[in-house]
Amino acid sequence: MPTRREDWTTDIHDGVTAYSMAGSGPAVLMLHGFPQSRAMWYPIAAELIAYHTVVLADLRGYGESQKPDQNRPQDCAAYSFRAMADDLLTLMRDIGFDRFHLVGHDRGARVAHRMALDAPQRIASVTLMDIVPTHLLLTELSHQVAQSYFHWFFLSQPYPFPERLIASDPDYFFEACLLGWGGARLEDFSASQLATYRTAWRRPETIFGMCQDYRATLKHDLTADMQDLERRAECPALVLYGADGAMAQHYDVPASWADRLSDMRSSTIPGGHFFPDTAPKATAEALISFLSRCS
């Protein structure tokens, strides 16, 4: 059973989506969040590959995946959750998986929710980690959440304002994000994963891509979610959230999803927003238990 990163098959699909794959059995696609990359999943995926074919993908704009439209910063449509979902649906089809389980954390969970709505026939189950619905967060915004999640509105400012400020010290900015939203310490993160994150977020094109992701949420994703308020994802769903994170402090997280997921289970994991990094064993156990009931 491959457990080391170098044992995984890695590629960039059609020059767009960087991914790694290992294991055998029913397919599971795992999507990271901000400000990370697919490297966040390696400790968890090492447990899952005993039961599943696991595919780890970098979202568009992140990690080693494509960062389009750098010459047209005013156009962020390519970074919408729907555009990212289309990348990943194409990837999974082309590597041989018409139907698969889907796991997402943070931004990856928002892409996963969009995929479950747009392509229900493709998704066997969905796991959403430490988010409330985008529409709820943006339309019923309290000052406490705005203070905790200020980065949504900073990163979405017009180009090149946030890019220039972040580029002056990207490690300071992004590590401050990792240490927020639930009280993690830098030593709680794997040194090898931190090194991979830093390599990516120090690149100007990655900073740009992450800002475009947040710009697209305000310009495109909120509208798409408003149009789909009456729709529910019909597949089995697991909502996991950090027991000490900002979402748990400010929301009843399961209740926020009750009218958007038809078949929902929920549970907490010790830690804050970045519990997949800081509590990988507990996260893997929760996923294995849920996926075993869905296979």
**Angle (CA) 26 29 35, round 5°:** 160
- 106 catalytic, yes or no? yes
Whole-angstrom Cα distance, residue 235 to residue 47? 23
Q: 2 falls in which pLDDT band (50, 70, 90)?
A: very low
Residue 89 in this model has a pLDDT that exceeds 80:
yes
pLDDT tens across 148-176, in order?
Answer: 999 999 999 999 999 999 999 999 999 99
pLDDT at position 260: 97
Residue 43 preceded by cis peptide, ω within 30: no
Whole-angstrom Cα distance, residue 49 to residue 194? 23
Whole-angstrom Cα distance, residue 155 to residue 173? 11
Contact 159, 74 (CB under 8 A): yes
Whole-angstrom Cα distance, residue 227 to residue 278? 36
- Catalytic residue, chosen from 58, 87, 106, 277, is 106
Q: Is the dihedral of CA 10, 200, 115, 14 positive or negative?
A: negative
108 CB neighbour count, 10 Å cutoff: 31
Mean pLDDT of 254-269: 97
Topology of domain 5-294, CATH = Rossmann fold (3.40.50)
- Catalytic residue, chosen from 213, 221, 273, 277, is 273
Domain residues of the chain, as ranges?
5-294
pLDDT tens across 188-211, in order?
Answer: 999 999 999 999 999 999 999 999
- 273 catalytic, yes or no? yes
**Burial class (CB within 10 angstroms; exposed 0-12, middle 13-18, buried 19+) of 1:** exposed
The H or E element that residue 117 is part of is helix 107-118
Q: Is this structure's pTM higher than 0.95?
A: yes
Contact 57, 19 (CB under 8 A): yes
Q: For the packed helices 170-179 and 191-201, what is the interaxial angle rounded to 10 degrees?
A: 130
